[in-house]
């Protein structure tokens, strides 16, 4: 009696599995594509007004820095990146409007792509989104360095220790994986 119950149970189980997979086409998985979004922090820095006290006599103050950024050189990124949204948050507590430019350069130092100028109004925090696709992505894929340039037109007030500019950037990488 026990053997009959086991045999009936096995046949039922076999029937259920056979009926569930009967209409599945496993060859469809070959053409599957997945669009993923991955957020990556890019550059973050803070400039303090006290760092510029030696430049009190200048009306135009510029700060510039560069960093190596090899993400676009990776084969996976080269093959699967379809869109990029750059996000910038600039908290400008200087008493002066500040212009921000980002340059993406290749190994020879040639500018491949530019974002900006972005206007960071005095005393305010601003968020910017810059969308890049198609030709812009191809230019970025040739770059391996980011240069950030900040320019403030000083009106009257001197720089002091309460002033600062906080810059944060990140990218949302849209990858089509197939």
pLDDT in tens, 77-97: 999 999 999 999 999 998 889
* Predicted model pTM: 0.76
Q: Which token pair is 10?
A: 């096995």
The tens digit of pLDDT for each residue in 63-81 reads 888 999 999 999 999 999 9
> Exposed, middle or buried: residue 148 (CB in 10 Å: 0-12, 13-18, 19+)?
buried
Banded pLDDT at 178 (limits 50, 70, 90): confident
Are 153 and 121 a contacting pair, CB within 8 Å?
no
The tens digit of pLDDT for each residue in 97-119 reads 999 999 999 999 999 999 999 99
The CATH T-level fold of domain 32-177 is: Jelly Rolls (2.60.120)
Rounded CA gap, 54 and 131, in Å? Answer: 38
Task: Give percent of the chain above pLDDT 70.
Answer: 73
Rounded CA gap, 168 and 138, in Å? Answer: 24
Expressed in angstroms, the distance from the first to the final Cα of the chain is: 53
Q: Indicate the length of the chain as a whole number.
A: 178
Rounded CA gap, 151 and 67, in Å? Answer: 18
How high is the pLDDT of residue 105? 96
The tens digit of pLDDT for each residue in 125-151 reads 999 999 999 999 999 999 999 999 988
């Amino acid at each position: 009696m026990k053997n009959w119950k086991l045999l009936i149970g096995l046949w039922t189980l076999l029937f259920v599995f056979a009926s569930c997979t009967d209409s599945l086409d496993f060859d469809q998985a070959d053409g599957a594509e997945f669009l993923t979004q991955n957020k990556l922090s890019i550059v973050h820095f803070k400039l303090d007004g006290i760092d510029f006290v030696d430049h009190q006599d200048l009306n135009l103050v510029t700060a510039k820095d560069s960093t190596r950024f090899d993400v676009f050189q990776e084969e996976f990124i080269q093959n699967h990146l379809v869109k990029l949204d750059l996000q910038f948050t600039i908290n400008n507590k200087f008493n002066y409007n500040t212009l921000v430019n980002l340059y993406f350069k290749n190994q020879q130092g040639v500018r491949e792509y530019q974002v900006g100028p972005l206007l960071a109004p005095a005393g305010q925090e601003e968020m910017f989104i810059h969308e890049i696709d198609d030709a812009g992505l191809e230019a970025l894929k040739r770059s391996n360095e980011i240069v950030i340039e900040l320019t403030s037109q000083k009106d009257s007030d001197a720089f002091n220790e309460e002033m600062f500019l906080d810059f944060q950037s990140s990218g949302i990488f849209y990858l089509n994986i197939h």
